[in-house]
Amino acid sequence: MSEKNRLRTPIVSVLGHVDHGKTTLLDTIRGTVVAKREAGGITQHIGATEVPIDVLKKVCKSPLLEKTKIPGLLFIDTPGHHAFTSLRERGGALADLAILVVDINEGFRPQTVEAINILRRFRTPFVVAANKIDRIPGWKSEKWRTFTEAFKKQNENAQRLLEERIYKLVESLYSHGFSSERYDRIRDFTRNVSIVPISALTGEGVPDLLLIIMGLAQRFLEDELKLRVDGPAKGTVLEVKEERGFGTTVDAIIYDGVIRVGDTIVLGGIKEPIVTKVRALLKPRPLKEMRVESRFISVQEVVAASGIKIVAPGLEGALAGSPLRVSSEEELPEVIEEVKSAIGEIRISTDEEGVIIKADTLGSLEALLGELREKNIPVRKADVGDITKSDVVEAATMENEFYRCVLGFNVRMTQEAKETASQESVRVFLSNIIYSLVDDYVGWVEKLKSESERKKLEIIAKPAKIMILPGFVFRRSNPAIVGIRVLAGNLHNNSELMNERGVKVGVVKGIQDRGENLSVAEKGKEVAIAIDGPTVGRQIKEGDILYVDIPERHAKIIENELQNALEDHELEVFREVLKIKREKDPFWGR
């Protein structure tokens, strides 16, 4: 094997917000390969596009590629972070590198932020493709120029507008913990994220983008890209598909070793790992030969890195996103256990109380689980597949109303599940953006909490502290009527009162301000109140400080659930009441 081929092709994933140009960029890269295929030919893959080094050299026109050992780049065809999270390998990303596509005129959008979070979690090196420079006012486009050539040809205004947009991206990346700069100004690529201005439409800047990716792969990934050509294949299942004439097939990315027709493979299944034999390995026909009746050509073996369709019996329950392994007979029990544990780490049934989560692939399930764990949200069950009646029934058994729900990422609900959710009052959240799903759930919980707090605040005795004003005794008893000042808290009608020693003195039976009846007197108010029970001069005196006497069960609710719902001055009075009560009984209200 020659020196050049000792490294496998790096796998590149393309992420970014919807409509920011991910698909156009992939189409442009694919178009380049088709257009330049006489220089080294084109290899079609299932679910991936390979750009051979000869094509890269022709497009990039850079002497830097002359000595590279990397045989090319393999782009995952399905754009977006959804595909990225599905391509996982033991908690890490299968993609070696990523391109984060951002519309230079729009800047960061919700899915851009989600993509950034995913890249951080998987610690994947990435480049920012600042797309749509052709839409900058005054920009003059020319196909397939390098960015530096294109920039020199622009007028001052277009250059200034581009710089302003670049620095907005720099600020956005900085706010998410990444130092970045325009790629041609970077000296240390280990400390800065490269921003490459491009137009996916005209191809401007795309040569620079490909060159930067090659440079990153060469510099940072040599060890990861070392290939065991004779070893058994390792891969990840991209999709499970029905193909006419073949039955259920799996599309997979092979990232290490070799897979051959007749090999025994192990991959994740709905209940248990699936063990089966490869009946056929299929690749698409070259584009110019593509026919509907025979879209595939059969091959005997495939070497990493490669996208391939596998035909084998018993693939009906295969899981998208699961590991795929080629195994010998001797190592089969060990490989089955390895696949089982890789899936078991994610498909969980852990916390007694918690939410139920469902996702379409193991990778997206893992990403959703990660987001929830970061927010300390317990998960009772995490699994792959559509939301079923049994998921809803399980959610309905949760005692805590905050967990009586199911979160579904990129999945559907069965009709039975919908009916059961309605009958059992189980809330179901569905979204194809992970952070939106989590935000919707958190928002719902906050709404429930504030509603619950509001209801509890309506029924509990609220802390308040008053002083009987000297010289304002209007009646001494039956009921006593006195002028008071509310020192802290808000005094409500029908509140029970106690003195500073914790002795009950009576009940507020009326509040008046200048002849007007009130239901509550706020902090700072001076009002007249009627107190049923005491006699002025005996149980109460002018100048006395009185408190609302809070029942013990109310005190427990305030201390455990409602402290955040009280104003600071109310909380202060509550603590004074606790101190008075606990002088007699240290365990009061605990």
What CATH number should be reported for the domain holding residue 57?
A: 3.40.50.300
What Rg do the C-alpha atoms of the chain give, in angstroms?
Answer: 34
Same domain, 51 and 102: yes
pLDDT of 170 reads 96
pLDDT of 274 reads 95
pLDDT of 228 reads 60
pLDDT of 438 reads 92
Instruction: Assign residue 443 the CATH number of its domain.
Output: 3.40.50.10050
CA atoms within 13 A on the CB side of 274: 22
Query: With 0-12 CB in 10 A as exposed, 13-18 as middle and 19+ as buried, what is 273?
Result: buried
pLDDT digits (tens, 9 = 90+) for 546-585: 999 999 989 888 888 787 778 889 999 999 999 999 988 8
Contact status, residue 65 vs residue 214, Cβ threshold 8 Å? yes
β-sheet bridge partners, residue 49: 44, 75
Mean pLDDT for the stretch of residues 365-378: 86
pLDDT of 106 reads 93
d(CA 477, CA 479): 4
d(CA 408, CA 287): 37
pLDDT digits (tens, 9 = 90+) for 127-148: 999 999 999 999 999 888 999 9
pLDDT digits (tens, 9 = 90+) for 400-416: 999 999 999 989 999 99
The share of the chain scoring above pLDDT 70, in percent, equals 89
Residue 229 or residue 259, greater confidence? 259
Same domain, 137 and 40: yes
Q: What is the 3-state secondary structure (H, E, C) of 149-210?
A: HHHHCCCHHHHHHHHHHHHHHHHHHHHCCCCEEEHHHCCCCCCCEEEEECCCCCCCCHHHHH
Cα distances (angstroms) measured from residue 529 to each of 408, 462, 496, 546: 56, 17, 12, 13
Residue 101 pLDDT exceeds 50: yes
Same domain, 301 and 403: no
Q: Per the domain annotation, does 134 fall within a domain?
A: yes
Q: Which range is least confidently modeled, 51-65, 220-234, 384-398, 546-560?
A: 220-234
Same domain, 293 and 414: no
Residue 79 pLDDT exceeds 80: no
Going by pLDDT thresholds of 50, 70 and 90, the confidence category of residue 35 is: very low
Q: Per the domain annotation, does 143 fall within a domain?
A: yes
Same domain, 544 and 420: no
3-class DSSP assignment, residue 340:
helix
Instruction: Assign residue 507 the CATH number of its domain.
Output: 2.40.30.10
Going by pLDDT thresholds of 50, 70 and 90, the confidence category of residue 292 is: very low
One-letter amino acid at 20 equals: H
Same domain, 550 and 470: yes
Q: Structural domain of residue 493, as residue ranges?
A: 464-584
Residue 272 pLDDT exceeds 80: yes
Residue 38 pLDDT exceeds 70: no
pLDDT of 37 reads 41
One-letter amino acid at 224 equals: E
3-class DSSP assignment, residue 45:
strand
pLDDT digits (tens, 9 = 90+) for 107-129: 998 778 888 888 888 888 999 99
Characterize 425-462 residue by residue with b for buried, 16 or more Cβ atoms within 10 angstroms of its Cβ, and e for exposed.
ebbbbbbbbbbebbbbbeeebeeeeeeebeeeeeebbb
d(CA 229, CA 302): 10
Going by pLDDT thresholds of 50, 70 and 90, the confidence category of residue 5 is: very low
Q: What DSSP character marks residue 233?
A: P
Backbone phi and psi for residue 113, each to the nearest 5 degrees, phi listed first: -65, -45
Contact status, residue 213 vs residue 99, Cβ threshold 8 Å? yes
Q: Per the domain annotation, does 197 fall within a domain?
A: yes
d(CA 318, CA 322): 8
pLDDT of 563 reads 79
Same domain, 38 and 153: yes
When divided into structural domains, the chain yields a total of 4
d(CA 329, CA 347): 27
Q: Which two tokens stand for residue 314?
A: 């018993």
pLDDT of 460 reads 83
Q: Per the domain annotation, does 181 fall within a domain?
A: yes
pLDDT of 455 reads 81
pLDDT of 456 reads 78
Cα of 328 vs its chain's centroid, Å: 38
Q: Which two tokens stand for residue 429?
A: 């959240």
Q: Per the domain annotation, does 315 fall within a domain?
A: yes
pLDDT digits (tens, 9 = 90+) for 318-370: 888 889 999 999 999 999 999 988 777 666 656 788 999 998 877 788 788 88
Same domain, 249 and 315: yes
Going by pLDDT thresholds of 50, 70 and 90, the confidence category of residue 289 is: very low
Same domain, 453 and 470: no
The pTM assigned to this predicted structure is 0.63
pLDDT of 245 reads 85
Query: What is the sign of the dihedral through the CA atoms of 563, 565, 568 and 571?
Result: negative
Q: How many residues does the chain have?
A: 590
Q: Please state whether the peptide bond connecting residue 207 to the residue before it is cis, i.e. omega within 30 degrees of 0.
A: no
How do strand 247-256 and strand 234-243 relate by DSSP bridges? antiparallel
Same domain, 481 and 576: yes
Give the torsion through C-alpha atoms of 267, 271, 272, 273, to 10 deg: 0
Contact status, residue 319 vs residue 362, Cβ threshold 8 Å? yes
* CA geometry: angle 235, 240, 246, nearest 5 deg: 105
- Starting at the edge strand found earlier in the chain, the sheet holding 72-76 runs 44-45, 48-52, 72-76, 11-16, 97-103, 126-131, 193-197, 180-182
3-class DSSP assignment, residue 14:
strand
95: nearest Cα among 11, 199, 164, 174: 11
pLDDT digits (tens, 9 = 90+) for 507-549: 999 999 988 999 999 999 999 999 999 999 999 999 999 999 9
Stated as kind and residue range, the H or E segment containing 582 is: helix 568-584
Same domain, 415 and 322: no
pLDDT of 396 reads 93
Backbone phi and psi for residue 98, each to the nearest 5 degrees, phi listed first: -135, 150
Same domain, 442 and 475: no
Cα distances (angstroms) measured from residue 481 to each of 475, 524, 527, 535: 5, 19, 10, 10
Residue 225 pLDDT exceeds 80: no
pLDDT of 326 reads 96
Q: Which two tokens stand for residue 380?
A: 């009772």
d(CA 15, CA 86): 13
131: nearest Cα among 234, 26, 217: 26
Highest mean pLDDT range out of 77-91, 163-177, 453-467, 569-583?
Answer: 163-177
Cα distances (angstroms) measured from residue 19 to each of 15, 86, 505: 11, 21, 70
